[in-house]
Amino acid sequence: MIAPKIMVVEDEEPLGVLLRYNLEAEGYQVEIVTRGDEAELRLQESVPDLLVLDWMVPAVSGIELCRRLRMRSETERLPIIMLTARGEESDRVRGLSTGADDYLVKPFSTPEFMARVRALLRRAKPEVLSSVLKVGDIVLDRESHRVYRKKNEIRLGPTEFRLLEFLMQHPGRVYTRGQLLDNVWGDTNYIDERTVDVHVGRLRKAVNNGRQTDVIRTIRGSGYAIRED
């Protein structure tokens, strides 16, 4: 299973280290960012499965970044947990009204934080935790590592499996080669973007089997997506 990706925007280093340790211990991929402006740039490049956002980060505040994210189509539904030392009811209302899905007042316990993360992912993005993904007539079983189309099993290599899994988590969404490298391959320092084309070609051949409707969309100059129906 491709581990859910979580970005933590937090300028208090000890807290950032603590959150990273506990999130990674549960199998999440974690990126720590310490400034609001840097987080905004990273979110334009790649959207995680969940954002943990401190209210008072420097450059662009968490509350302002949350507002901006809700105005962009790519991030308008991004699950966001707001962290803050502001415990007044008016502050909680403001944070939630700006677009945060959940709100934790510092200091908070690690078990409560982890429970909030799991609950929000289950509610907002069940596909990242589900053991079975289904898009159109394609079914991917993460536990058995098997893929079926119209009940016929499809044999895939490990890279093609991860590629299909990632695309099926976001049906209809177009990803550039760079974004696919980042999310499917991870460490992309020594991998050429043309590698993506090779593996998409293999995936397309296996899934379509020469006779089926092509479920992989190629958007010239942009990237690839899986059809929603």
pLDDT digits (tens, 9 = 90+) for 62-75: 899 999 999 998 89
H/E stretch holding 140: strand 138-141
Which residue spans of the chain are classified as CATH 1.10.10.10?
A: 132-226
Per-residue pLDDT of 14-64, as tens digits, reads: 999 999 999 988 878 899 999 999 999 999 988 999 999 998 899 999 899
Please state the separation of Cα 175 from the chain's center in Å. Answer: 12
Nearest to 212 by CA among 128, 138, 147: 138
Integer Cα distance of 30 and 33 in angstroms: 10
Longest dimension (CA), the chain: 61
* Domain range 132-226, CATH class: mainly alpha
Side chain identity at residue 198, one-letter code: V
Which residue spans of the chain are classified as CATH 3.40.50.2300?
A: 5-124
Residue 213 Cα distances to 5, 151, 184, angstroms: 31, 15, 24
CATH number of 5-124: 3.40.50.2300
The whole-model pTM stands at 0.65
